[in-house]
A and B are shown apart, each in its own frame.
Chain A
């Protein structure tokens, strides 16, 4: 605080390297200061899994583990898109039925019109982009609050799905490729190969970054911490793929069922791609800036309207992908695809994972972690034989808990001057 007494050469140039202990202390003090990130989601996941595993040992079976992924996939994908909207402090209530509209387009193109699968997928995603552009335009350029715009979308899209479904009947999706997304698995060897690629890639990125920074004399995390991160990732991925590669068919003679569900690498690739966009590109930086202080972003020459429109486009496009995955899982599209609890689960997933409803804070990984929590609750409660009623109540309570953790951590950080 005292002004210009010379203490050291330059702010970063001569900073001593951070030790492992120092790194841990930094982390602990950040958490105590309210920067808890995904900690509640991870802890919640561990607690829930432990409870369910004790109450229903079948929860831990390989078959159920694989089910978790396919059950949670659509919600997780929609939640990943919602993170972008939430980062700006906006909301998209229409994402659920937007995924329904896109799924309906997919089913119509592939089944009714008989085009190949990729045309249908393209049509669904283009529909998502159009929906997002419209919503974003209404929010950013016309200036209607996103809550109202997307609430209107919620109602209207529900109607559009009904109309596309020719009054309430459902359309089946039989195309092999589309059905495979949620219902087929990768050969075990490919699963292992993907783990190797992912771990090696992550290690390379981390080590190159570490070397670049220390070469320039900038503050770096200690090498031990970097290696520990890589190790943790390798262990998590390794265990997951090992379990998924176990035989989970009830009768091996009839059919063999093992390997990583195809939807898992799809989620992983999107997770990496969007994380890259948010953390490593100036577009992502601008999204955080607009979410943190719109006026400051505008004065820094950022086109705020364009950013606001773009997040709605991303959200609706991800909803489209979620819709495709949902259609694949059900082998059909009906008027309730993307309806009932899908949207609320998706918002819940993003918030439970640690994305702030107040904007400016959140990661795409949050959506995946939160999506896992939602899927575990849904799945575990189902195994324990509770009714849908109880499931909804519990999920609601968990969402409320997550939102209060968010609010609480904001108070905490305000008190410690962290946010």
Chain B
């Protein structure tokens, strides 16, 4: 575990009109680790991800990338830092093939002409680097792929660009048992390759299978960020549903005492930029 987290958020607030969706949220993601982000529907997981990826501006709060303060105002800023998001609904074009999808919007060219051989080679290398061997041809349309294969392509697309932090939004939600195992293995491999991974999931089995840390959101507040080994299944469920579990969570003075350097509950409401 590296001393400085790759990404650290402090005191993030976000409101949509009168509705405050995120309240003083803190989150850290370390290189080489999978951080699971859990929470019930409407807890603010997706909003938080959209803030990190620059789709939504935050109302207040600090972003630290490798310890340096940065500002992320657009998806472009996030991409420049090496932050890639794999969305729940995949964001692949069915009518394009695997290579075309992986390079969509960032095609390699020589002059004005697309450089197909280079793109195909890079795509092949990336998939090989992730030990993906389930796709038959790189030139098959994405529409002909299974759910797990699509998810694999979406993840490979995210790591193609020397990304540092990959955020996965419910990557296993629509998959069968075998394909889920496949994708989780891939998620683990991303972290083992030195990337920071943030995994959003509703499935506690998945969370415990691959994550190093768990961050729990409850009604827009980060109630705990702890090491996976320090917490049990039922404690997490309590945190998700009630916002507290024993010493962890809302009422008790927060999980900062949980060692592990996890910046847990935001304690100082005035921690603005």
Contact = CB atoms under 8 A, between A and B. Distances in A.
Interface of A: 1-13, 15, 212-213, 216, 218-219, 280-282, 285-286, 288-289, 291-293, 295-297, 299-302, 360-361, 413, 416-419
Contacts of A295: 89, 91
Contacts of A216: 117, 121
A415 to B, nearest CB: 12
B113 interface: yes
A3 B146 CA distance: 13
Contacts, number: 120
Given A4-B131, A301-B75, A218 B181 contact: no
B64 interface: no
A125 B123 CA distance: 41
B105 A297 contact: yes
19 contacts: A3-B185, A6-B133, A11-B128, A11-B138, A12-B124, A13-B124, A216-B121, A280-B114, A289-B96, A289-B105, A293-B95, A296-B90, A297-B104, A302-B105, A360-B94, A417-B144, A418-B143, A419-B94, A419-B144
A292 B95 contact: yes
B144 A418 contact: yes
Nearest to A214: B117
A15 B124 CA distance: 11
B127 interface: yes
Interface string B259-273: 000000000000000
Interface in B100-149: 100, 104-107, 109, 112-114, 117, 120-121, 124-125, 127-128, 131-135, 137-139, 141, 143-146
A13 to B, nearest CB: 6
Contact of B120 (A4, A12, A291, A361): A12
Given A2-B178, A3-B181, A418-B143, 10 more contacts: A10-B124, A13-B128, A219-B137, A285-B114, A288-B93, A289-B93, A299-B91, A300-B104, A300-B106, A419-B141
Given A3-B185, A11-B133, A285-B114, A301 B127 contact: no
A374 B100 CA distance: 34
Candidate in A3, A288, A289, A291 with the most chain B CB atoms within 10 angstroms = A3
B127 A11 contact: yes
A3 B132 CA distance: 8
B131 A419 contact: no
Contact of A419 (B90, B95, B104, B139): B95
Interface residues of B, number: 46
A286 B95 CA distance: 12
A84 B75 CA distance: 28
Contacts of A213: 117
A10 B134 CA distance: 11
B117 A280 contact: no
B26 to A, nearest CB: 27
Contacts of B48: none
Interface string B5-45: 00000000000000000000000000000000000000000
Nearest to B183: A3
B92 interface: yes
A12 B105 contact: no
Candidate in A9, A291, A293, A419 with the most chain B CB atoms within 10 angstroms = A293
A32 to B, nearest CB: 13
A296 B95 contact: no
B96 A288 contact: yes
A296 B141 contact: no
B233 interface: no
A213 B95 CA distance: 23
B111 to A, nearest CB: 10
Contacts of A218: 117, 120-121
B93 A292 contact: yes
Candidate in A7, A10, A11 with the most chain B CB atoms within 10 angstroms = A11
A336 B96 CA distance: 41
